[in-house]
Amino acid sequence: MYEPALSVRKPVESDLEALANLIKRFYLFNEEFDPAWAVTDNLDQAAMERAKAYIEGDGITLVAVCDDEPVGYLHVEIRDNPMLSTRKLGIITELYVIPAKRGRGIASKLVEEAQKELSSLGIAHIAAEFPSQNFVAQSFYTKLKFRSYSSIYLREV
């Protein structure tokens, strides 16, 4: 099911440009589902800065690598709410696999590895956040047995 040369690991400095490109592609893809996700004019620079932060350890970031080339990534934010008994929650805020590699289990493998990372930190729950109209993401997470947990409603001010 998985690519023969697939590995999932934390990103390293040499992944910077490829990770920035994946981040950029993630945001361009999600822009298609909701105009509120419209990307900034300085998307290249913003994606590069975000990739640097992810490599430096902001949250949990994993890259899927095929034949030494990053082909997908996942980023998890850890949110802490002392009002809840579960307290900490890992939230997948970004997950992207290049179109040529989709349908091969790479995104599922990224989620599986993220779950292992969260478990090692004592975090018992994982959630996913994405545009409501992104039916591709809805279908994917439903297939992985995620359920509706929270809703965010948006309007212009």
d(CA 63, CA 74): 7
Domain ranges within the chain, ordered by starting residue: 6-143
Q: Which fold has domain 6-143?
A: Aminopeptidase (3.40.630)
Quick: pLDDT tens for 39-63: 999 999 999 999 999 999 989 999 9
| pLDDT score at 3 | 43
pTM: 0.92
Strands 88-97 vs 126-128: parallel, antiparallel or unpaired: parallel
Quick: pLDDT tens for 87-124: 999 999 999 999 999 999 999 999 999 999 999 999 99
Quick: pLDDT tens for 126-142: 999 999 999 999 999 99
